[in-house]
Amino acid sequence: MRPLALAALLPLLALRPAAAAELCDRLSVPEGYKLVCETQVEDGHRSQRVMVQPAGSAVPLAELTLRQLDKSEQPLAWQDPELWLSEQVSVDLSSITSLLRASSETGPLAHPFVRPTVDGLLTMLSGWSQLPRQACTPDNRPGRYQLRCDWGLAPLSLRSTLRLVPAGEDRYALSFWATDESESRHLEAIANSLTTG
In three-state secondary structure terms, 51 is strand
Q: Which pLDDT value is given to residue 55?
A: 84
Secondary structure element (H or E) that encloses residue 14, with its range: helix 3-24
Residue where a domain stops, chosen among 110, 129, 148:
129
* Pair 158, 81 in one domain: yes
pTM over 0.75: no
Q: Which pLDDT value is given to residue 164?
A: 92
8 Å CB contact between 126 and 111 = no
* Pair 105, 149 in one domain: no
CA distances from 114 to 16, 101, 131, 135, 142 (A): 55, 12, 26, 34, 50
* Pair 139, 82 in one domain: yes
Q: Which pLDDT value is given to residue 138?
A: 86
Domain ranges, residue 125: 94-129
* Pair 98, 179 in one domain: no
* Pair 72, 140 in one domain: yes
* Pair 20, 83 in one domain: yes
* Pair 31, 57 in one domain: yes
C-alpha span between 194 and 197 (Å, rounded)? 9
52-58, long-range: CB within 8 Å, 24+ apart, which pairs? Answer: 52/27, 52/176, 52/187, 52/190, 54/183
End-to-end CA distance of the chain: 40
Q: Which pLDDT value is given to residue 23?
A: 83
Give the pLDDT of the chain (197 residues) as one tens digit per residue: 444 443 443 333 333 345 556 888 888 888 888 888 888 776 777 778 888 988 876 667 888 999 999 999 899 999 998 889 888 876 555 666 566 666 677 666 666 766 677 676 666 656 555 555 667 888 877 767 998 888 766 566 778 889 999 888 999 999 898 888 888 899 999 998 988 76
Contacts of 197 (CB under 8 A, 6+ apart): 167
* Pair 79, 100 in one domain: no
In the chain, the number of structural domains is 2
In three-state secondary structure terms, 168 is coil
* Pair 32, 122 in one domain: no
C-alpha span between 24 and 16 (Å, rounded)? 13
Identify the CATH number of the domain in which residue 35 sits. 3.40.1000
Q: Which pLDDT value is given to residue 76?
A: 92
**How does DSSP classify residue 70?**
P
* Pair 155, 139 in one domain: yes
CA distances from 21 to 24, 27, 35, 90 (A): 5, 11, 10, 31
* Pair 75, 143 in one domain: yes
